[in-house]
Structure 1
């Protein structure tokens, strides 16, 4: 149950250092950008719903 609420992977996803040994290409960069945008949109929507529920 403890691992269910472990959000360290999500929190560190935005602040990772780039690995100089890893090759990157356009598709990989695009995928990570879309993932970051979708996580931010989800968090904004979730915060909006919580604030609307509280008021």
Structure 2
């Protein structure tokens, strides 16, 4: 049960997915994915900063 809680493979592969040519895309969807990627990177940077300054 606990093994699935910390499975980071979905997050790791989110940045390196290939675009599916069959999937229809639009401006709203691209914008949402861009904002998601920026927010994940900012969160990761914050965690790294927090760890680096509190050790």
Task: Name the TM-score, length of structure 2 as normaliser.
Answer: 0.96
- Give the aligned partner of residue 46 of structure 1: 47
1:12-27 equivalences under 5 Å are: 12-27=13-28
Output the CA distance in 2 between the equivalents of 1:35 and 1:12: 13
TM score, norm. by length of structure 1: 0.96
Gap regions ≥5 residues in structure 1: none
User: Considering only aligned residues, what root-mean-square deviation do their CA atoms show, in Å?
Assistant: 0.4
List 4+ stretches of structure 1 deviating above 3 A: none
User: 1 CA distance for matches of 2:41 and 2:6?
Assistant: 18
